[in-house]
């Protein structure tokens, strides 16, 4: 069971083929047509819609520390509350290149935008898995 970023890194390193990690950082936003109850819940830090704001692919050894990833994300100027992570397997002992990751990363952004998040690990800003309901 993966419950944190460090668990994810251990699982990626245990795979038989090298992995590339895909990250989609999302900000919680309130829809324009939100009801008064939705607005009140959002004000308490609940509900809202997750909107992708930044995406990136990295090799696990490039982001061995979650706080370094958070700091790098800060440099984009985009606020975020949740990051979705997926891993991409290499072949024949070779990790996928960043170019090879572009189409899957684009598809991941679109999936998250549509709310299809079941295949991804959601992490909070501390690198802990979160349950989204």
Average pLDDT over residues 99-126: 95
- Mean pLDDT over each residue of the chain, to the nearest integer: 92
- Please count the other Cβ atoms lying within 10 Å of the Cβ belonging to residue 8: 22
Res. 133: pLDDT tops 70? no
125: its two tokens: 């800003």
- Please count the other Cβ atoms lying within 10 Å of the Cβ belonging to residue 100: 16
Cα dihedral sign, 84-65-131-95? positive
Res. 96: pLDDT tops 90? yes
């Amino acid at each position: 069971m993966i419950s944190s970023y460090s668990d994810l890194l251990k699982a990626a390193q245990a795979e038989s083929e090298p992995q590339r990690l895909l990250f989609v950082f999302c900000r919680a936003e309130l829809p324009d047509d939100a009801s008064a109850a939705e607005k009140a819940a959002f004000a308490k830090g609940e509900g809202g819609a997750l909107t992708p704001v930044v995406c990136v692919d990295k090799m696990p050894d490039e982001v061995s520390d979650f706080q370094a990833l958070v700091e790098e994300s800060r440099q984009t100027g985009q606020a975020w509350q949740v990051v979705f992570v997926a891993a991409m397997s290499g072949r024949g002992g070779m990790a996928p290149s960043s170019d090879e990751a572009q189409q899957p990363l684009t598809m991941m952004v679109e999936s998250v935008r549509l709310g299809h998040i079941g295949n991804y690990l959601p992490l909070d800003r501390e690198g802990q898995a979160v349950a989204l309901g």
